[in-house]
Amino acid sequence: METNKNNVYVKLTHDHVDKNGHVSEAGYLTVANLAYWQICENVGLLKLYDKYKISGIVFDTYLEFKKEVFEGEQVMIKLRFSMLDDTRKIIRLLDIYNREKCLVVKITSNGGFLDLKKRKIVEPPKQILDTCFRYLAD
């Protein structure tokens, strides 16, 4: 897995492909989830999540398929957040592009910030919000 600040590059394997011969829904979700955590590491969110015992959480996810992608191809996953007026909640956008930089899948998740001790959705500390706005704002 190759990365920069808010993009991750992944070569798709047999494990990502379904019986139709193209990348499956589960395959896209797998690479997107791994990319999400890698990008959070890249921009410093994982350290902040650990420091404040807060993490991102997903309530629901919607996938919109645009083009087929196949085993052996490399894709780029880009992470962005749309921040809501209620700063306890976010919209997470993970876009997956093929090597020609065409959008192949758009993954939209509604979520929030989970206090890992209280197990409740909370407004994150300013340092987390600032990092989200600095690196990941839509």
Whole-model pTM: value is 0.90
pLDDT for the residue numbered 83? 84
**Per-domain residue ranges for the chain?**
2-136
What is d(CA 130, CA 25) in angstroms, rounded to the nearest whole number?
32
Tokens representing 77? 């996953």
Residue 124 near residue 57 (C-beta atoms within 8 A): no
Q: What is the pLDDT along the chain (138 residues), one digit of tens a residue?
A: 555 677 899 999 999 999 999 999 999 999 999 999 999 999 999 999 999 999 999 999 999 999 999 999 999 999 999 988 999 999 999 999 999 999 999 999 999 999 999 999 999 999 999 998 888 886
What is d(CA 137, CA 59) in angstroms, rounded to the nearest whole number?
19
Angle at 107 between CA 27 and CA 125, to 5 degrees: 115
CATH 3.10.129.10 matches 2-136: yes
pLDDT for the residue numbered 136? 81
Residue 31 DSSP label: H
What is d(CA 114, CA 94) in angstroms, rounded to the nearest whole number?
20
pLDDT for the residue numbered 1? 59
Residue with tokens 């706005």: 133
